[in-house]
């Protein structure tokens, strides 16, 4: 299963509060570690898709909201699509998910 799940691959989230949303794999961990014993991936995606824009709308209403979360492989469905944009792993990594202040910065990095 790990040969399909690679960084910059587009996935669909199947479970949790972001189920049905599209996301991109930032980093995959095939063997697990002390925090998560099973294989998992750090994904960044769009939680709130932007509305259709009109002239009367402000920037806040048009803005998209992103999420950054660690998911087990069984909760992700891989698609055939991948992103050609290089991801900056220094601003978006697994340690960002632990600290609330860094998490906001990680969300901003994921939007770009």
Residue 12 φ then ψ, to 5°: -110, 135
What burial class does residue 29 get, using C-beta atoms within 10 Å of its C-beta: 0-12 exposed, 13-18 middle, 19+ buried? middle
CA triple 101-11-5, angle to 5 deg: 95
Give yes or no for residue 111 having a pLDDT over 60: no
User: For residue 74, what is the DSSP state?
Assistant: G
pLDDT in tens, 15-47: 988 889 889 888 887 877 777 788 888 888 887
17 within 8 A of 23, measured Cβ to Cβ:
no
Q: What is the pTM of this model?
A: 0.70
């Amino acid at each position: 299963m790990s040969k399909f799940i690679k960084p910059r691959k587009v996935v669909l989230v199947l479970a949790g509060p972001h189920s049905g949303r599209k996301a991109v794999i930032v980093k995959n961990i095939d063997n697990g570690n002390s925090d998560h014993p099973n294989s998992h991936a750090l994904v960044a995606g769009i939680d709130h898709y932007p509305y259709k824009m009109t002239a009367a709308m402000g920037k806040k209403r048009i803005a998209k909201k992103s999420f950054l979360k660690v998911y087990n492989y069984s909760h992700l469905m891989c698609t055939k699509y991948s992103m050609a944009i290089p991801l900056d792993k220094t601003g978006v990594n697994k340690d960002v998910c632990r600290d609330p202040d860094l998490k906001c910065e990680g969300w901003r990095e994921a939007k770009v």
